[in-house]
Amino acid sequence: MRISTALLTLPLAAVLVIACGKSEVTASPAKAVPAAATTPAGAGTPAVPAAAPAKRNKRGKQYQVVARPVTMKVGGKTVAKLIIEPAKGMKFNKEFPSKFIVTAGSHAACDKKKLSARSGDVKVDGKKGVVSVPLSAKAAGKGDLGIIGHFSICNDEQCFVLRGERLTLNVTVR
């Protein structure tokens, strides 16, 4: 019985790679087994459907945030609107339990710990998501409040769950 070196080389290389902890095997082209030899006669390769690429805006995301800068007086309160506009062909997912956490700045803070769809702070207006951010002015100053968002954007074929998205809201207190 004669055993070909190509048939011994590939399994031996695979065992060595697994033992060394590497995740892929590379074989030289001269010793590679052709695909026709490993595929049974009459069996075609299964068709793998390719997912449609997500449409993205100019910045490479499935959405953009639109928020007017907020100006307040020291000790004042207001409700800022943070609008999440999905890219063309997409919509804000109203079924997803969206939530947003606002980090307080030295000059302003959010009146709630967590803003969510369940509590009525996140609503859907057409295809856009609208987040109502209740703010209190603490001291004179200017800067961005950091917001961490967990929400979903969908097109006709799939939904994208976005967790830990960093958003900002510009606030000036006079």
User: Are 105 and 168 contained in the same domain?
Assistant: yes
CB-CB contact of 134 with 111 (8 Å): yes
List per-residue pLDDT tens for the chain, 174 residues long.
455 554 555 454 444 444 444 444 443 333 333 444 443 444 443 343 333 344 444 456 889 999 999 999 999 999 999 999 999 999 999 999 999 999 998 999 999 989 999 999 999 999 999 999 999 999 999 999 999 999 999 999 999 999 999 999 999 999
Residues whose CB is less than 8 angstroms from the CB of residue 173 and which lie 6 or more positions away in sequence, other chains included: 71, 72, 73, 74, 76, 107, 108, 137, 138, 139, 140, 141, 142
Q: Is residue 23 part of a domain?
A: yes
Same domain, 110 and 164: yes
Residues 86, 129 share a domain: yes
* 161 and 97 fall within a common domain: yes
Same domain as 94, residue 162: yes
pTM for this model (two decimals)? 0.65
Examine residue 160 and state whether it is found in any structural domain, yes or no. yes
CA gap 102, 88 in Å, rounded: 27
Direct distance between the N- and C-terminal alpha carbons of the chain, in angstroms, rounded to an integer: 91
The range of the structural domain enclosing residue 29 comes to: 5-36
Is the same domain home to 18 and 99?
no
Q: Are residues 114 and 157 in the same domain?
A: yes
- In sequence order, which residues have a C-beta less than 8 Å from that of residue 150 and are 6 or more positions away? 98, 99, 100, 162, 163, 164, 165
Residues 30 and 114 in one domain: no
Same domain as 83, residue 17: no
Domain count, the chain: 2
Does 55 reside within a domain?
no
pLDDT per position as a tens digit, 114-164: 999 999 999 999 999 999 999 999 999 999 999 999 999 999 999 999 999
